[in-house]
Structure 1
Amino acid sequence: MHRARDVGYPCRVLSLFRRKSADLADPATEPVTPAEEDARPRGYTPGKGRQTPKRPATGRRPAGATKPLTKEEAKALRRERRAEAAAEFRREGGPRDRGPERVLARNVVDSRRTVGTWFFGGALVVLIGSNQMMPEAIRLASNLLWGALAVGVVIDSVLISRKIKKLVMARFPQTTQRMGSLYLYAIMRAITFRKLRTPEPRVAIGDQV
């Protein structure tokens, strides 16, 4: 009888040891999800006997050396980037063109014909016609043309400024934009040829603003 009991005893002890070793398995060997890995502090070192988890390769640059550009390719790339920057500036303008008040001022100018667009062309005619070698009648006509252009630009600038002030006060009563700066911005645009204006016009002549 005693021998039968003794035979079963080592089996029970062995099973207990197996269950204990399974319960005390090293957590360092368990797999870790990417979320758990990202939650760990910087400088974390995995426990001994544990493999360092690999980060996903998504978003990484493909392996391989980048071929250096030749001098001609680099020049072509710079030229292309300059063209893209110029086109973007032509469409959107620069920092001085930002703000709803500036957009409104541009639309007021672009929706009408301005005397200022003829200012520089007229100035060239006046410069040639006022030469001392020209007949007196041509010189007199050149001076009259210069005076007419100057008066026309002044009157046109006053009308543009008054319309801008009226629209800005109606649509942006809480504006912090300085009106003098806005008037000067509009007048400088008004004396620029329409095709050379930046940003490019977004309204046609005669459109309601």
Structure 2
Amino acid sequence: MFRRRSQDAPAAATALADEQAAQPRNPQAPKGRPTPKRSEAQASRRTRTSVPKDRKEAARDARTRMRAEREKQRLALLNGDERALPARDKGPVRRFARDFVDSRFTVAEWFLPFAVVILILSVLRNPALQFVSLLMWLVVIVGIVLDSVRHAVVLRKQLQQRFPNESHKGVTAYALMRTLQMRRLRLPKPQVKRGAKL
């Protein structure tokens, strides 16, 4: 009995050693480095936790950081600096969509001025002018829809040609929302002139 067990023990130990050798050690594991000295660990812990002890001071610091971040984004929107733009405006696909819209004349960008004129005409007591305002409203809406469909089709085709391996999700809607803004009020500011070839 004792003899059989002593013969099986080395076989089990060899199998366990082979199994451990088959699994490579993860270099990112916590013990993949020497244990630091206590003084080093305490020093690194002190530098990591540099949170202010006063809540008001912490809130003031957070507000200052957020204000600086917003100012950086605002300047990027005005200058077209890609590095500091918000996530919705970043990337070459979104930039091309912006340039595509900015290089063309769109009916939708004149929606607000037309709406003001139509509103003034509809308030007047003259039935003929009210009929004209209703007709203008219909013409503007149909014009915007047809122009938006045309721009969406051309933009999708251009995106598939120029960026076949990039994601185009939400880019058409992003571009169409930009067409609704007047050119001077668009953010990020237009980087191309109207009529420019892309």
TM-score w.r.t. the length of structure 1 is 0.57
For residues 182 and 138 of structure 1, the distance between their equivalents in structure 2, rounded to whole angstroms, comes to 40
Q: Residue 172 of structure 2 corresponds to which residue in structure 1?
A: 183
Instruction: Measure how far apart 1:208 and its partner are.
Output: 0.6
- Which among 93, 102, 105 is matched to residue 101 of structure 1? 93
Which amino acid is the alignment partner of residue 108 of structure 1? F
SS in 1 for 2:173: helix
For residues 199 and 153 of structure 1, the distance between their equivalents in structure 2, rounded to whole angstroms, comes to 22
Q: Is the 8 A contact 2:109 2:181 kept in 1?
A: yes
More helix by share: 2
Extract unaligned runs of 5+ from structure 2.
1-34, 40-63
For residues 83 and 44 of structure 1, the distance between their equivalents in structure 2, rounded to whole angstroms, comes to 42
Q: Is 1:88 the equivalent of 2:83?
A: no
Q: Residue 110 of structure 1 corresponds to which residue in structure 2?
A: 102
For residues 173 and 111 of structure 1, the distance between their equivalents in structure 2, rounded to whole angstroms, comes to 22
Q: Residue 119 of structure 2 corresponds to which residue in structure 1?
A: 127
Flag the structure with larger Rg: 1
Instruction: Measure how far apart 1:167 and its partner are.
Output: 0.9
CA RMSD of aligned residues (A): 2.6
Q: Within 5 Å, which residues of 2 pair with 1:1-209?
A: 43=37, 81=68, 83-90=71-78, 91=80, 92=82, 93-131=85-123, 133-178=124-169, 181-209=170-198
For residues 86 and 173 of structure 1, the distance between their equivalents in structure 2, rounded to whole angstroms, comes to 31
Q: Is the 8 A contact 2:118 2:137 kept in 1?
A: yes
Q: Is the 8 A contact 2:178 2:186 kept in 1?
A: yes
Which amino acid is the alignment partner of residue 148 of structure 2? S
TM-score w.r.t. the length of structure 2 is 0.60
Instruction: Measure how far apart 1:165 and its partner are.
Output: 1.0
Which amino acid is the alignment partner of residue 171 of structure 2? L
Q: Is the 8 A contact 1:110 1:203 kept in 2?
A: yes
For residues 91 and 117 of structure 2, the distance between their equivalents in structure 1, rounded to whole angstroms, comes to 37
Extract unaligned runs of 5+ from structure 1.
1-40, 46-76
Instruction: Measure how far apart 1:42 and its partner are.
Output: 5.1
Q: Is the 8 A contact 2:103 2:194 kept in 1?
A: yes
For residues 175 and 131 of structure 2, the distance between their equivalents in structure 1, rounded to whole angstroms, comes to 32
For residues 44 and 154 of structure 1, the distance between their equivalents in structure 2, rounded to whole angstroms, comes to 69
The number of aligned residues is 137
Instruction: Measure how far apart 1:134 and its partner are.
Output: 2.4
Instruction: Measure how far apart 1:43 and its partner are.
Output: 3.9
Once the two structures are aligned, what percentage of the paired residues are identical?
Answer: 36
Which amino acid is the alignment partner of residue 130 of structure 1? S
Instruction: Measure how far apart 1:84 and its partner are.
Output: 4.7
Q: Is the 8 A contact 2:103 2:193 kept in 1?
A: yes
For residues 192 and 176 of structure 1, the distance between their equivalents in structure 2, rounded to whole angstroms, comes to 25
For residues 187 and 44 of structure 1, the distance between their equivalents in structure 2, rounded to whole angstroms, comes to 60
For residues 97 and 71 of structure 2, the distance between their equivalents in structure 1, rounded to whole angstroms, comes to 27
